[in-house]
Amino acid sequence: MSDRRGGGLRGDLKQRVKTGRGRTVSSKLWLERQLNDPYVARAKREGYRSRAAFKLTEIDERFRLLKPGQRVVDLGAAPGGWSQVAAAKVGSHPGASAPRGRVVGIDLLEIEPMPGVDFVTLDFLDPTAPGLLTEMLGGPADVVMSDMAANATGHKKTDHLRIMGLAETALAFAREILAPGGTYLAKVLQGGTEGGLLTDLKRDFSNVRHVKPAASRADSSELYVLATGYRGAEATDGPYRETEDGGEEDEAGWRP
């Protein structure tokens, strides 16, 4: 029912898409969601490459993980929305005042060039990737972030396992390139198999939390895991010993 109070028209103004030749029901629903998504419209207005830019912006506004002068790696960076936000936050764009940060994005897909970001077309699992990105950054990373998601199959359990696998491999990469005190941010899905990843994160980082920014669709099981205070490879790779209170710690006194 429409409401004409105030001289305006309010009501159900959602755009509908017809299922035509060559268009599946799933593609129709996806297109409708895009057309009616306020974050998609806002991204176009504000010049962002994707609506995902607002997810990182909201997380950063809450936890202040991106700071001027930092070195940042964006895994699975295409089309570049997260890299775009990071470049503005760390001051890697042309004309930024000191301290100047660095942002490197890596993806299997080629990405259109962007001021303040160096993109490389490469699988981050390639053995040469950690060394290459460290060289491009000019040193170890302060932040490794990933908004990667595997192509959906429609089977919830399968999709969950695939995205968790990406998060775990991204963490393995982060261990090779992060500086002590660094931050790891990655997309995950709720589904009951996060235990192993969280155990690894709690061993490797001083603080671990789940975050769901407002820009994440409410009907999605998407979450982000944010881990801060990386303890460094030497502190996390060694054996753990039993403590007096029944817990465990490594030789440096870090607890898993």
Contact partners, residue 33, CB within 8 Å, separation at least 6 = none
With beta carbons less than 8 A apart as the criterion, state whether 136 and 103 touch. Answer: no
Query: Residue 183 to residues 78, 121, 142, 231: CA-CA distances in angstroms?
Result: 21, 23, 6, 10
Q: Report the length, in residues, of the chain.
A: 256
With beta carbons less than 8 A apart as the criterion, state whether 204 and 180 touch. Answer: no
Numbered residues of the known binding site for S-adenosyl-L-methionine: 80, 82, 107, 123, 147
Numbered residues of the known binding site: 80, 82, 107, 123, 147
Instruction: Round to whole Å and give the CA distance between 145 and 152.
Output: 21
Residues with a known catalytic role? 187
CB atoms under 10 Å from CB of 241, counted, come to 10
Burial class from Cβ neighbours inside 10 Å (0-12, 13-18, 19+) for residue 110 reads exposed
